[in-house]
Structure 1
């Protein structure tokens, strides 16, 4: 287009020298028209070029969108194919289940009934076990209370016997070193009095010093009416050589125990029901009978004080 305009200009220039003014003006007018046409064509070309560029951009975007849409279409197609395969498999399974539905349902119903029966049996067994467990729990709680009460009673009895032992020790302190001992063992209080404090050889008559000791013991016992009192007579193994009034050492030990009981009964505060006399002869020695000292220790009266265990026995029977 530019070349056409230039050529026209050259023609006009060459002819201007040899044409008439009228013709020159016509050519010049045509030149101006051509210039305007050229300008219009240039503007149109630029617009077309811009439109082309925009169209190319749109085309690229459409191509990208197309490719993306195609990819999504392929993905959806694959998913559809997978779903179709699953559907076909499920359809086949459903058809097979439907074909055998009656037998399967009947079998399931029977199994459900059996399971329900088993469940009911388990529930009943569980209820029975829970009931038994609750009963055992109640029994355990009740027994725990009785054990606690028993421990309390035993502790109280032990405290009572300890206090009794201390009271007797204080009451008989004047006779310490004269063949008298007081000790506490296994919840009992043992008062041991050698014969030299109580009796002459071969005699069951209590001497003055011994009577005083027994009376002071009786004063303590009178203040403790809940104590059982066992008086045991013991001898050594030397045979009795008396005047024939006694059958032997066992008889002698019994009479000596009875003599102590008689003195204790003089105290009106002592309940006779709490007293027991027993003769052990030479059969419960505390020392060897091979020596004079040992035989002296074996010739003794033992007063054994025991707390009454009625309350403890009752608690034990209830356990």
Structure 2
């Protein structure tokens, strides 16, 4: 190999050692023939192209490694979220089952209460019909039977029971109460409230009767005493109250309105023990 060729190789400082060895080896295998500058430059161009391809490939590899690391982190995060959701879903499933059981229980209780109320209404209607038939002969004397809010109301005008200003039941009134008692005897599950009502006219002072409060209460207790003492109704089933002039059925000031307001109301309602047991 000539000194001139060795000097030329040293002058090419940008070549790396590996590639120089590659050229050198090529020259050796080519019989130590001197490579022309053109051929050498072509070889350098090939090396540059290979280096650029290698760098591009390395960049892609680096990018893929970054993407892999991100995917691994995302996968781990999603795995934790999934585990948390599964745990939450399991807990929610238990709550849903508990709520469903509570709902079924409440629906069953609602059905029971509705059944009791329906039976009470049916019993009330039957009682109303029975009373209307039993007291049919007293309608013209001021007796009516009504159904309100599951209760039966027997309304008796004061003239049917009492002489004017009196608290003593007359004979006609006793007959009406006797017919009423016959029906009540067959309905031991019915509670009885007797309410006395007056008009808004002030009463004259009549012995123990000082005002409309007294008149309404004493007339009510007179009816209760008759039903218990004369007709044998269990006194534990009865309540006597007086409401004076403060719950009128007609608020006008006519004679007819005042007459309608002077009344005894016998309120019949079924015992609610079964209903109370359900709602405890």
Q: Smaller-chain TM-score range? A: 0.7 to 0.9
CA–CA separation in structure 2 for the residues paired with 1:194 and 1:149 = 39
Q: Report the equivalent of 1:278.
A: 241
Are 1:123 and 2:92 an aligned pair?
Answer: no
Q: Report the equivalent of 1:227.
A: 190
Give 1:114's match in structure 2, choosing from 71, 77, 80: 77
Structure 1 residues 93 and 316, CA, compared in 2 at 3 Å: closer, same or farther?
farther
CA–CA separation in structure 1 for the residues paired with 2:159 and 2:175 = 14
Q: Report the equivalent of 2:11.
A: none
CA–CA separation in structure 2 for the residues paired with 1:134 and 1:267 = 61
Q: Report the equivalent of 2:129.
A: 166
Deviations 1:149-191 (A, max 9, x none): 2221111111100000111112212212011111112211110
Q: Is the 8 A contact 2:194 2:241 kept in 1?
A: yes
CA–CA separation in structure 2 for the residues paired with 1:93 and 1:117 = 36
Task: Give me the TM-score of the superposition, normalised by structure 2.
Answer: 0.73
Task: Give me the TM-score of the superposition, normalised by structure 1.
Answer: 0.65
Relative to structure 2, which stretch is displaced further, 269-278 or 139-148?
A: 269-278
Match of 2:141, SS state, is: coil
Displacement of 1:105 in angstroms is 4.6
CA–CA separation in structure 2 for the residues paired with 1:267 and 1:159 = 30
Higher alpha-carbon Rg:
1
Are 1:203 and 2:197 an aligned pair?
Answer: no
Are 1:305 and 2:265 an aligned pair?
Answer: no
CA–CA separation in structure 2 for the residues paired with 1:307 and 1:93 = 96
Q: Report the equivalent of 2:35.
A: none
Q: Is the 8 A contact 2:178 2:231 kept in 1?
A: no
C-alpha RMSD of matched pairs (Å): 2.5
Tell me how many residue pairs correspond in the alignment.
227
Q: Is the 8 A contact 1:234 1:279 kept in 2?
A: yes
Listed as ranges, the matches of 1:152-163 within 5 Å are 152-163=115-126
CA–CA separation in structure 1 for the residues paired with 2:118 and 2:227 = 28
Q: Which runs of 5+ in 1 are unaligned?
A: 1-90
Relative to structure 2, which stretch is displaced further, 266-275 or 136-145?
A: 266-275
Displacement of 1:103 in angstroms is 5.3
Displacement of 1:212 in angstroms is 1.8
CA–CA separation in structure 1 for the residues paired with 2:252 and 2:99 = 57
Q: Report the equivalent of 1:252.
A: 215
Listed as ranges, the matches of 1:1-319 within 5 Å are 98-99=61-62, 104-266=67-229, 270-288=233-251, 290-317=253-280
Displacement of 1:96 in angstroms is 5.3
CA–CA separation in structure 2 for the residues paired with 1:310 and 1:202 = 39
Displacement of 1:207 in angstroms is 1.0
